[in-house]
Each structure stands twice: as structure tokens, then as C-alpha cells.
Structure 1
């Protein structure tokens, strides 16, 4: 373990021991659910463990609040995706029912795609989803979004690159 890794581990250990209870309470007030709050507090500290450099936090609660707000936003976005997916499944005939295992795999895939497309402009993301999920042609997307076909093509390339390179750990 390098000196940097040791310093980071020590910093996170101290943050956890000094502020984990407070963070769990802060999240419980926002969520109204002690179990979800505990899960998201855990996720917040897991986010910190992915860091490569210590942060030398001067205001630990403000820092943890910022990280937890991002975790909370991801939680809400995942809930939205899950609701939309379950709504789409609800209209399928029973003969096409999806197993719980397949649902979990699809849900994880949707969350990953959402993460990869997260940095794109909303119109780029929307054009990509219209193409991939709705099967719309370039002309149909252009008409629906009131943009040119050339813009649609450019947006689809940009979103495709984001998915390809994002899936391979390349930051664009």
C-alpha cells in the first residue's frame, strides 16, 4: 500500500467513524426510510473509496453532504428508470413476461446506459433514445425534435461514441 493509499484509507476511516451516524440521520430525514438511508450512507462511503487522492477535508459534513447528494440524485434517477421500465413491462402480454433475473440485468444495463449518456445535452440523449428505443428514423426524429436530419446524424454519432467509449472506460 502506497503512502497515498494509506493516507486516503486513514482519511475515509476517520470520516466514517466521526460522521457516519450523522450522515445516516441526514439521509433518513430526506428519505423517510432508515434502511434506504443506511444503504445510501454506505454508497456514499463506497464512492469515497474509489478516489485515488486524499481530499484533506476542512468541512467534513459539507463534503459528505455534497457526495451524498450525488448518490441521492443517482438513487432517484435509478428509481425513475425502474418505474419507466416496470410500466413498459406492465403493458406486455403475460406470455412475454420477463424473469426477475432478466429484469435485474435489463435494469442494470439501463442504469449504465443512463450513466454513459448523462453528460450529453438533453436533445442528444433524446435523439439517441428515440432511435434506439423507439426505432424512429432520422427523419422522424428530426421532425419530432424540430431539428435537421444532419443534426440528428451528428447527435447519434456523438451518443454512440459516448456509449462505446464510456463502456470501455475512456473519458471523452
Structure 2
């Protein structure tokens, strides 16, 4: 009989502890269960598992990243739904379209992560709001050349990130 997969051993030994930690952070057992699942899925997708001296510390690091992504997703979804509430009912997207739009916004946020806020805002104004370079410059109080430079920077980040996947 072959040895158990290292993630299976982690799951068996620490699942309850990780679920309790996430439940405490989230205040919801169902969301905690979902994020425990996402944490172990992330581990299963790894090419190799490191040799773990402190498995709980390792799991905690992975779970904290999953939790941060969860909170980011919630923040983006909330902002999108607040914006959507201002749209005319006739333009409201279907539930499936909403889910796709939220996923796209989360992915854009992930791709732009680490860029300065002004670069992100330039990109979002151009791509989501359809603003011209001049309108963006006026809105953000920056030069037209800065708008162009920032759009190139953000566009390159997205293009090359997608190219690597």
C-alpha cells in the first residue's frame, strides 16, 4: 500500500483546527468550510509540497492568503452591487452576467495588485468608465503624459500576466 498524499495527511491531522480558526475569523461555519476547501485545493495544485516542520504555521499562511482573497472578492462584489443599484432596471444584468462581471473585476484587481493606486484608477477609468485620456487627467489631477504612461504600465501588467497563464 502506498503512503498517503501529504495533503491528505495535513487534512486528516489539521482540518478541524483550520475550520475552527476560519470560523472564528468569519463568524460563519459554512463560509469557513468553503475556505478550508479552497485552502486544501490550493495545496493540491502545488507541484510539490515542502517538508513541513510546522504544518499549522504553513496551513495558516496559506489560509490567510485564501481569506485575504475572499475579503477582496467580497469588497469588489459589494462595490459592484452598489454601483449596479444605480443603473436603470432595464440595463440590469442577469444573475449569470453579474457573476461573470464580478469574476472579471476580481481578476482585474488581482492583475493590477501591487501597482500604485493612481495607475489602477487610470486604468479603471479608461477601461470601465470609458473616459478619455484628457478626462482621466482632469479627474485625477495629473498630466496627459502621466495618464498615457500609467495606462501602458497597467496594460502591460495585464497583458504579460495573462500571457504567462
TM-score, length of structure 1 as denominator length:
0.87
Instruction: Tell me how far 1:92 sits from its aligned partner.
Output: 1.4
State the Cα distance separating 1:142 from its structure 2 match: 2.7
Q: Deviations over 1:11-55 (max 9, x none)?
A: 211111111110000000010000000000110111111211221
Aligned to 2:62: 67
Which residue, 92, 95, 99 being the options, matches 2:94?
A: 99
Alignment of 1:9-48 (within 5 A): 10-48=5-43
Cα separation, 1, equivalents of 2:101 and 2:34:
22
1:84 equivalent in alignment to 2:79: yes
| Aligned-pair CA distance for 1:139 | 2.8
With normalisation by structure 2, the TM-score equals 0.90
Partner of 1:166: 161
1:153 corresponding residue in structure 2: 148
Structure 2 gaps of 5+ residues are none
- Which one is further off, 143-152 or 75-84? 143-152
**Which residue is 2:112 aligned to?**
117
Which runs of 5 or more structure 1 residues have no equivalent in the other structure?
Answer: 1-5
Which runs of structure 1 show a deviation greater than 6 angstroms over 4 or more consecutive aligned residues? none
Kindly state the Cα deviation for residue 121 of structure 1 after the two structures are TM-superposed: 2.3
CA RMSD of aligned residues (A): 1.9
**2:89 & 2:80 partners in 1: Cα distance?**
15
